[in-house]
């Protein structure tokens, strides 16, 4: 990460990469989402897998993958990624976002909220180890495919809340009842990638843009961990048949190999 990205992630819990996608990629991604229809909001193996070549390419995007490697402790000496894809959501004006008056703030640093709970049962976390290398659980790359540069929808958060041991005030949570002035609105042009730790309190802003929403959420974990359940796991051969499928992409698609250590609202952190 460069100096600005490092400062932003440490201080606010997120940073934006403008121009992460080309206009051609944005167009292909939008067209494939529109063809699938607004009611399908998650990309899963059982619903046909990847929707187009552009969705496959996002697994290991050259402008994003080195950043993810650093967020997961640094690149591996064998050239393999330090991360795996946990699950992929696609937010449109469909099933996931029928009420676009505003979402509810979610996400938290569970290491700080419940420090007595075993770390292997924490769904998400943020920090550095004793060597100074990053240790992250669930990290999301959100690709905005519409223009929200005038703060008329998209990603919002409580900047810096990934470091708090306190819950978000309940009165702030529901943005359909109003956007609290402490919420940071993150403007984005089409093709911008917003990289954030899910230990950050984050939220969907009320959508007031003239266009319909299309935002892609690629959610990653360390190679030996997961946040979602096995029913959403991809497999190493899950993208076979598409161009550019190499050992790196197969590693990114590989699920952890062990059994979950426990159950927590249907979602747990697992570690090998």
Per-residue pLDDT at 238? 87
- Cα(40)–Cα(42) distance, rounded to whole angstroms? 6
Per-residue pLDDT at 211? 85
Contact criterion met (CB below 8 Å) for 42 and 87: yes
Confidence check: pLDDT of 219 > 80: yes
Residue 41: how many CB atoms within 10 A of its CB?
16
pLDDT in tens, 132-190: 889 899 999 999 999 999 888 899 999 999 999 999 999 999 999 999 999 999 999 99
Per-residue pLDDT at 271? 39
- Cα(109)–Cα(114) distance, rounded to whole angstroms? 9
Q: Please give the structure tokens belonging to residue 231.
A: 């029913």
pLDDT in tens, 76-100: 889 899 999 999 999 887 666 665 6
- Cα(118)–Cα(122) distance, rounded to whole angstroms? 7
Q: Please give the structure tokens belonging to residue 88.
A: 């992929």
pLDDT in tens, 5-24: 999 999 999 999 999 999 99
pLDDT in tens, 29-83: 999 999 887 777 778 777 778 999 999 999 999 999 999 999 999 888 898 999 9
pTM for the complete prediction?
0.92
> Average pLDDT of 218-237?
89
- Cα(139)–Cα(124) distance, rounded to whole angstroms? 8
Angstrom distances, CA of residue 199 to CA of 10, 157, 163, 238, 246: 12, 11, 8, 29, 31
pLDDT in tens, 94-117: 666 665 688 899 999 988 999 888
Per-residue pLDDT at 94? 66
Q: Is the dihedral of CA 180, 163, 1, 29 positive or negative?
A: negative
Q: Within the chain, where are the H helices?
A: 3-12, 23-36, 53-57, 65-71, 110-113, 170-173, 247-252
DSSP 145-158: -S--TTS-SEEEE-
pLDDT in tens, 256-265: 875 443 333 3
């Amino acid at each position: 990460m460069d100096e600005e990205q490092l400062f932003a992630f440490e201080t606010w819990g997120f940073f934006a990469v403008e121009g992460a996608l080309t206009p051609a990629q944005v167009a292909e991604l939008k067209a494939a989402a529109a063809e699938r229809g607004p009611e399908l909001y998650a990309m899963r193996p059982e619903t046909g897998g990847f929707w187009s070549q552009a969705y496959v390419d996002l697994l290991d995007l050259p402008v994003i993958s080195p950043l993810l490697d650093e967020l997961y402790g640094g690149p591996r000496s064998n050239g393999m990624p330090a991360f795996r894809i946990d699950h992929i959501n696609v937010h449109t004006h469909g099933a996931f976002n029928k009420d676009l008056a505003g979402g509810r703030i979610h996400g938290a640093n569970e290491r700080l909220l419940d420090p007595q709970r075993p770390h292997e049962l924490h769904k998400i976390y943020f920090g550095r180890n004793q060597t100074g290398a990053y240790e992250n659980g669930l990290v999301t790359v959100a690709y905005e495919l519409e223009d929200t540069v005038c703060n008329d929808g998209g990603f919002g958060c409580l900047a810096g809340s990934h470091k708090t041991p306190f819950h978000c005030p309940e009165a702030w949570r529901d943005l359909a009842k109003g956007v609290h002035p402490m919420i940071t609105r993150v403007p984005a042009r089409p093709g911008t990638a917003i990289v954030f730790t899910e230990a950050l309190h984050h939220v969907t802003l009320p959508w007031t843009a003239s266009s319909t929403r299309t935002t892609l959420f690629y959610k990653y974990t360390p190679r030996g961990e997961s946040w979602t359940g096995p029913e959403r796991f991809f497999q190493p051969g899950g993208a076979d048949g598409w161009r550019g499928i190499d050992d790196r992409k197969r590693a990114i698609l590989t699920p952890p190999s062990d059994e979950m250590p426990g159950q927590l609202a249907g979602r747990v952190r697992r570690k090998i």
